[in-house]
């Protein structure tokens, strides 16, 4: 029975349900010290001096490192150059601040002490003198002529400029009967994995090796960057990602803190552990999402959407994170949605402010582009007196493959059929009748529709290795090794962070080799034993890594069959592996257990002809077959149904229907888990979560008491319909789906809430839609029934 397509139970779960998982804070090394960062309490200040004298007098204080000390030892943090970036300025971003601090929580010094609590005591004794400066919190302020420059080496406060266009935008304007214009704003929030960042750095004076245990999605990429930043030989660095307690794109970061921790390990010659507190994490781990779009959409009176143009402003924070281009560009590239437009144009400015740096978070900008186009579809429909579904149906791409104005080819899928399926799931006409009936009773039910084509597997990461853009393709390399008893280890260079790799890779490996799944084990995350890999990102595991697993499995099978053919005195091409037996095809009597073949290949090599190599191991690579920005094109349609209580501003979910297509599913149970989980995360983003700064640049949301991630009672039961259109260019047909519902959910939920309260004269163009914000909108519209 093929393993691919089976909802088998996860092979990683036994350790987790028994508490025997190993996350970074579960690891203790002999002689290990604990580190705590001293962080800036100011949003913007000149750093006048850092005095560690008293700290080092503390009986448990071991050592300290300041920005001034670190400056010559560690180079600037990386910023990726993408082809699409027409200008990129690189602020001098160091692991510890040395001249100015530019956001609350920025690290200025690092102390090491004998234990966890003492490290905090010692950090409190570090004396830092600041000269506070006026903070810039809003990109509009940063862009004003004469605004103070946040970085001396930049011409102004624009850190990144991207200009992109495609198709014929002039024709779109020419043919338009009117131009729809709006300003949209998405608020700042982030992924907040329940496991915060953490790392243990260790330096061996004898071997001159630097070993890190680090909670990261990118062990190999991190190693490469550390080598560059620290000017340290890459082959002497080993990064081990143990169990990772959630990543969501945030852990694609190259953390400045980890660079400083390496310096401390080298300096003290002892392992040093740093585990971030939740407060630190909310202040200084990556933030995401905050953008505004000034949008123009030329439209014909008959409802034809002709094009879309936007000026996108990203609040980039105090420094540019390595991946700033990604979510900036992602939003721009998703503006045309799944619709047949003639042209698009986007001008993107990532603007420096005194907030935490802005980086990757599940969805990578696509949710913002989707929010802009999908909100606009609803508003245009209303303006034209049309049903929003009807307007989508008129404009949606009817046939694939389809060349988009953004320069991509949507290669497969039937978007209109997906829409129909979703409408059928909720019985759309009946819902509209129900809505009309409830409105007469003074109840506000809303139906939200959002659809998009989601790109998976970004081709851009190796730009990381160059200071300028170089053309690149994503790829994955996988090694498969059979041991002397016939069991197989699959070595993969990325790392699971809840993403079920140990199960799905074993399913693919089992089918590729013909071996029982119980004899296959997956090892990931250790750069010393796995092939180079760009990490767990961009939903690429299925689209890029698993084809490499299959290639490598087939190569191993070939080697097993070759030894088997010799032992069975048959032809190699007549061999097959069935349930752990090597046999002559169709002749089960002529067979040998794989374990016997393995024993010969390792221990009885003398009995084999010289041309058959010893051992059983295969390494194969899979290169992305497509050179565009993305490799595969999953898509989805979301229809949430909500009721808004106009007295309290709360949103209650009545239904939530999802149709999605991620190509061939390896494990439908895992796929559904990702779809539902990603959607839930986005519901939190749309309705609850916001990183709020006051005008002085203080972050007001520094715990889960203020930063509200969804609880079990906030979530509906999601209904999921799976379509499976195989990806034509990927062996196996997988498209990838780790972004889950995160791409679509914002637009869908915002549209649902907007639809609910639209009769009260409210137009929604910004998020979050927290209860207080909904009440404010109702008050502004004079429509909360006269209640407070």
| Residue 83 beta carbon to other proteins: minimum distance, rounded to whole angstroms | 33
Asked if 522 and 30 count as a contact pair (C-beta separation under 8 A), the reply is no
Out of 676, 743, 747, 756, which residue is the one contacting other proteins (CB under 8 A)? 676
Among 153, 205, 207, 711, the residue binding other proteins under the rule CB under 8 A is 711
Closest CA to 315 of 56, 433, 559, 141: 141
From the list 484, 159, 435, the residue with the least C-alpha distance to 315 is 159
CB of 370 to other proteins, least distance (A): 19
Helix axes 745-757, 771-780, angle to 10 degrees: 40
CA–CA gap between residue 684 and residue 691 (Å, rounded): 12
CB 422 within 8 A of CB 637: yes
321 touching other proteins, by CB under 8 A: no
Does 700 bind other proteins (CB under 8 A)? Our answer is no
Dist CA 497 CA 406 (whole Å): 31
CA-CA distance, 200 to 219, in Å (whole number)?
Answer: 13
Identified binder of other proteins from the candidate list 179, 709, 721, 760, rule CB under 8 A: 709
- The footprint of other proteins on residues 261-280 (CB under 8 A) is 275, 277-279
* Among the listed residues 5, 516, 673, 771, the single contact to other proteins using CB under 8 A: 673
Q: Does 567 bind other proteins (CB under 8 A)?
A: no
Choose, by CB under 8 A, the member of 219, 327, 535, 677 that binds other proteins.
Answer: 677
Dihedral, 530, 532, 536, 539 alpha carbons, nearest 10: -120
Distance in Å, CB of 770 to other proteins, minimum: 17
Binding status of residue 195 toward other proteins by CB under 8 A:
yes
The candidate with the shortest Cα–Cα distance to 499, out of 241, 246, 724, is 246
Indicate the burial class of 376 (C-beta count within 10 angstroms; 0-12, 13-18, 19 or more): buried
Q: How many residues bind other proteins (CB under 8 A)?
A: 60
Q: Which of 455, 498, 535, 663 binds other proteins (CB under 8 A)?
A: 498
User: Do residues 524 and 494 make contact, with C-beta atoms less than 8 angstroms apart?
Assistant: yes
Give the shortest CB-34-to-other proteins separation in angstroms: 10
Length of the chain: 788
Q: Does 518 bind other proteins (CB under 8 A)?
A: no
Query: Rounded to an integer, what distance in angstroms lies between the CA atom of residue 51 and that of residue 10?
Result: 51
Q: Does 712 bind other proteins (CB under 8 A)?
A: yes
Q: Is 601 helix (H, G, I), strand (E, B) or coil?
A: helix
With respect to other proteins, which residue has the nearer C-beta, 13 or 776?
Answer: 13
Asked if residue 196 binds other proteins (CB under 8 A), the reply is yes
Binding mask 332-351 for other proteins (x = CB under 8 A): --------------------
The interface mask with other proteins, positions 241-260, x = CB under 8 A, is --xxxxxx------------
Nearby residues of 559 by Cβ (< 8 Å), 6 or more positions away: 601, 613, 616, 617, 618
Of 195 and 312, CB closest to other proteins: 195
Residues 6+ away with beta carbon under 8 Å from 295: 180, 181, 182, 183, 184, 308, 309, 310, 335, 372, 376
CA gap 587, 289 in Å, rounded: 60
Q: Is 17 one of the binding residues for other proteins (CB under 8 A)?
A: yes
Which residue of 78, 135, 193, 249 would you call a contact of other proteins, by CB under 8 A?
193
Q: By CB under 8 A, name the one of 49, 53, 87, 117 that touches other proteins.
A: 117
Where are any strands of DSSP class E within 18-145?
A: 33-39, 45-51, 61-66, 85-88, 100-101, 107-113, 127-132
CB of 204 to other proteins, least distance (A): 24
Cα distances (Å, whole numbers) of residue 516 to 426, 558, 574, 580: 41, 16, 20, 6
Question: What is the closest distance, in whole angstroms, from the C-beta atom of residue 643 to other proteins in the complex?
Answer: 16
Q: Which of 31, 54, 148, 194 contacts other proteins by CB under 8 A?
A: 194
Should residue 23 be labelled a site residue for other proteins when binding is judged by CB under 8 A?
Answer: yes
Residue 662 contacts other proteins per CB under 8 A = no
Applying CB under 8 A, among 272, 329, 497, 757 the residue interacting with other proteins is 497
Residue 715 interacting with other proteins (CB under 8 A): yes
Sheet with 581-584, strands from edge to edge, namely 575-578, 581-584, 587-593
- Residue 20 is a binding residue for other proteins (CB under 8 A): yes
Does residue 669 belong to the site contacting other proteins (CB under 8 A)? Answer: yes
Nearer Cβ to other proteins, position 498 or 547? 498
Residues within the interface to other proteins (CB under 8 A): 9-10, 12-23, 25-26, 28, 116-117, 191-196, 243-248, 275, 277-279, 497-500, 669-670, 672-674, 676-677, 679-681, 703-705, 709-713, 715, 717-718
């Amino acid at each position: 029975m093929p393993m691919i397509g089976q909802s088998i139970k996860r092979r990683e779960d036994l350790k987790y349900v028994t508490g025997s998982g190993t996350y970074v804070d579960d690891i203790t090394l002999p002689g290990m010290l604990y580190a705590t960062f001293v962080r800036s309490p100011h949003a913007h200040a000149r750093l006048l001096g850092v005095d560690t004298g008293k700290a080092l007098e503390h009986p448990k204080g071991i050592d300290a490192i300041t920005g001034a000390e670190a400056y010559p030892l560690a180079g600037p943090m990386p910023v990726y150059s993408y082809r699409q970036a027409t200008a990129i300025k690189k602020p001098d971003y160091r692991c510890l601040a040395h001249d100015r601090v530019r956001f609350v929580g920025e690290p200025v010094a690092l102390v090491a002490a004998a234990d966890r609590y003492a490290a905090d005591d010692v950090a409190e004794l570090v004396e830092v003198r600041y000269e506070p400066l006026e903070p810039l919190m809003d990109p509009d302020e940063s862009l004003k002529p004469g605004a103070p420059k946040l970085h001396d080496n930049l011409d102004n406060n624009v850190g990144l400029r991207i200009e992109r266009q495609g198709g014929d935008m002039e024709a779109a304007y020419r043919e338009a009967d009117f131009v729809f214009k709006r300003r949209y704003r998405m608020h700042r929030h982030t992924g907040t994995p329940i496991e915060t960042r953490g790392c243990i750095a260790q330096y061996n004076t004898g071997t001159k090796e630097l070993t890190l245990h680090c909670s990261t999605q990118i062990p190999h990429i991190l190693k490469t960057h550390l080598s560059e930043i620290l000017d340290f030989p890459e082959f002497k660095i080993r990064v081990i990602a143990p169990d990772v307690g959630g990543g969501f794109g945030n852990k694609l970061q190259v953390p400045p803190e980890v660079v400083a921790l390496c310096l401390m390990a080298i300096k003290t010659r002892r392992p040093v552990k740093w585990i971030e507190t939740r407060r630190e994490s909310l202040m200084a781990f990556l933030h995401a999402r905050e953008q505004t779009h000034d949008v123009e959409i030329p439209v014909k009176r008959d409802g034809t959407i002709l094009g879309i143009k936007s000026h996108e402003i990203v609040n980039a924070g105090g420094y540019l994170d390595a991946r700033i281009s990604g979510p900036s560009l992602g939003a721009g590239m998703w503006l045309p949605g799944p619709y047949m437009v003639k042209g698009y144009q986007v001008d993107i400015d990532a603007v420096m402010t005194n907030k935490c740096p802005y980086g990757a978070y599940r969805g990578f900008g696509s949710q913002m582009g989707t929010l802009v186009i999908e909100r606009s579809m609803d508003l245009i429909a209303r303006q034209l007196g049309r049903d929003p579904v009807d307007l989508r149906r008129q404009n949606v791409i009817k046939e694939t493959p389809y060349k988009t104005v953004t320069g991509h080819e949507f290669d497969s899928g039937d978007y209109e059929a997906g829409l129909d399926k979703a409408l059928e799931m909720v019985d759309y006409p009946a819902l509209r009748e129900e809505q009309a009936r409830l409105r007469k009773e003074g109840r506000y039910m809303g139906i939200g529709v959002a659809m998009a084509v989601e790109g998976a597997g970004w081709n851009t990461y190796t730009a990381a290795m160059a200071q300028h853009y170089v053309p690149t393709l994503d790829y994955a390399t996988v090694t498969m090794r059979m041991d002397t008893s016939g069991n197989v280890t699959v070595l993969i260079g990325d790392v699971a962070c809840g993403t079920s790799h140990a199960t799905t890779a074993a399913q693919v490996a089992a089918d590729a080799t013909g071996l029982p799944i119980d004899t296959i084990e997956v090892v990931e995350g250790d750069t010393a034993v796995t092939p180079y890999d760009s990490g767990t990102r961009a939903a690429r595991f299925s689209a890029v890594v698993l084809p490499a697993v299959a290639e490598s499995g087939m190569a191993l099978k070939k080697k097993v069959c070759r030894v088997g053919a010799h032992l069975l005195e048959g032809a190699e091409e007549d061999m097959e592996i069935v349930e752990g037996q090597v046999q002559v095809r169709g002749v089960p009597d002529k067979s040998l257990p794989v374990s016997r073949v393995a024993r010969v290949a390792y221990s009885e090599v003398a009995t084999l002809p010289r041309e058959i190599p010893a051992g059983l191991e295969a390494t194969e690579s899979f290169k992305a077959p497509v050179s565009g920005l993305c490799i595969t094109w999953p898509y989805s349609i979301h229809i949430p149904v909500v009721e808004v209580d106009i007295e309290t501003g709360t949103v209650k979910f009545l239904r939530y229907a999802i149709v999605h297509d991620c190509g061939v599913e390896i494990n439908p149970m895992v796929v559904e888990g990702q779809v539902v989980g990603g959607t839930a995360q986005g519901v939190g983003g749309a309705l609850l979560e916001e990183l709020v700064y006051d005008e002085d640049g203080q972050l007001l949301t520094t715990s889960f008491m203020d930063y509200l991630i969804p609880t079990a009672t906030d979530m509906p039961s999601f209904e999921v319909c799976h379509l499976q259109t195989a990806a034509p260019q990927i062996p196996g047909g997988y498209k990838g789906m780790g972004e889950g519902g995160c791409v679509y959910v914002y637009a869908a939920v915002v549209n649902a809430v907007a639809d609910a309260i639209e009769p009260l004269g409210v137009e929604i163009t910004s998020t979050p839609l927290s209860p207080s914000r909904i009440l404010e909108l109702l008050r502004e519209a004079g429509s909360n029934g006269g209640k407070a």
